[in-house]
């Protein structure tokens, strides 16, 4: 599985946008970019995924660089409930498993 | 209605004991998984079952044995528990095998196992 690099931690304020970066310079053409997050004392939950185009859903937006070597998860208006560890994961077509890295621990200040 | 549930939530036991963790999903999914999250918070897959058939078996000691009595259940039995088995164990499910890239996983709340 291609490797991703994320900052260990980030901090933001409530009701402000948050941009969580992920570098994946060795991504292959068929790798999808998935984001999951893990709230404190809970199991991970799916956030969003994409291949080439930017994606939006009710939780977040995913901005993918034109060369696909990096992506950014955007939380448009962070709440305290968004404090979690965010994992950027590359999934090859046909891959049967998710490989989690260390993720980014996001702290939201009130 | 919990989509993926696990019992027990907490499990404290002595070294050498045998214990089981149960997982049930009510999503009608075909594929279920077990993950282990150690003290450093790394989350690693252990097993995956699709329609009761084992499809992923990572490098896990033989003391760990998953059992899938039906598509909605995937239990994890651990023999001769060791101190290093202390971790949080997560069950997950997906509609189909993750080979389909649109598949997403739904995780349970975790079972916190402490071996003394």
- pLDDT, one tens digit per residue, over B15-25 is 999 999 999 99
Quote the distance between the C-alpha of residue B63 and its chain's center.
Answer: 14
Closest to B99 (Cβ–Cβ): which among A41, A87, A95?
Answer: A95
Query: B105, B102, B101, B100: which is closest to B74 by C-alpha?
Result: B105
Q: Look at residue B77 in the predicted model and tell me its pLDDT.
A: 97
Tell me the shortest Cα–Cα distance from A2 to chain B, in angstroms. Answer: 15
Distance linking the first and last C-alpha atoms of chain A? 37
Read off the tokens for B5.
Answer: 């549930």
Closest CA to A8 of A96, A107, A109, A108: A107
Are A42 and B110 a contacting pair at CB < 8 A? yes
**Residue B60 in contact with partner chain A when CB distance is under 8 A:** no
A73-106 pLDDT per residue, tens: 999 999 999 999 999 999 887 777 888 989 999 9
Q: How far is CA B40 from the centre of its chain?
A: 18
What residue in A sits closest to B40 (Cα-Cα)?
A: A102
- pLDDT-flagged residues of chain B (< 70): 1-2, 97-102
Token pair for A75: 């939380």
Per-residue confidence (pLDDT) for residue B1, from 0 to 100: 61
Q: Is the pLDDT of residue A110 over 70?
A: yes
Determine contact: B101 vs chain A, CB below 8 A: yes
Partner B contacted by A39 (CB < 8 A): no
Q: Is A91 on the interface with B (CB under 8 A)?
A: yes
Chosen from A34, A44, A55, A87 to mutate, greatest number of chain B CBs within 10 A: A44
CA–CA separation, B46 and B30 (whole Å): 17
Identify each DSSP E strand in A1-110 by its residue range. Answer: 9-13, 18-23, 32-38, 44-50, 55-56, 61-64, 70-75, 84-91, 104-109
- Cβ <8 Å between B106 and A46: yes
């Amino acid at each position: 599985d291609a490797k991703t690099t994320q900052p260990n931690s980030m901090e933001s304020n409530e009701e402000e946008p948050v941009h969580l970066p992920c570098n994946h310079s060795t991504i292959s053409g068929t790798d999808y970019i998935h984001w999951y997050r893990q709230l404190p004392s809970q199991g991970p939950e799916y956030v969003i995924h994409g291949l080439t185009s930017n994606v939006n859903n009710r939780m977040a937006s995913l901005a993918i660089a034109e060369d696909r070597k990096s992506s950014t998860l955007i939380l448009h208006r962070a709440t305290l409930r968004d404090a979690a560890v965010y994992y950027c994961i590359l999934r090859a077509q046909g891959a049967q498993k998710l490989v989690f890295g260390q993720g980014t621990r996001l702290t939201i200040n009130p | 209605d919990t989509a993926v549930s696990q019992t027990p939530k907490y499990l404290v036991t002595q070294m050498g004991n045998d214990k089981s963790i149960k997982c049930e999903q009510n999503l009608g999914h075909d594929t279920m998984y077990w993950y282990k999250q150690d003290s450093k918070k790394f989350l690693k897959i252990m097993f995956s079952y699709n329609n009761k058939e084992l499809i992923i078996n990572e490098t896990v000691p033989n003391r760990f044995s998953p059992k899938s009595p039906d598509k909605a259940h995937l239990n994890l039995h651990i023999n001769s528990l060791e101190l290093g088995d202390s971790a949080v164990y997560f069950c997950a499910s997906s509609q189909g095998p993750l080979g389909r890239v649109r598949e997403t996983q739904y995780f349970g709340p975790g079972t916190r196992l402490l071996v003394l």
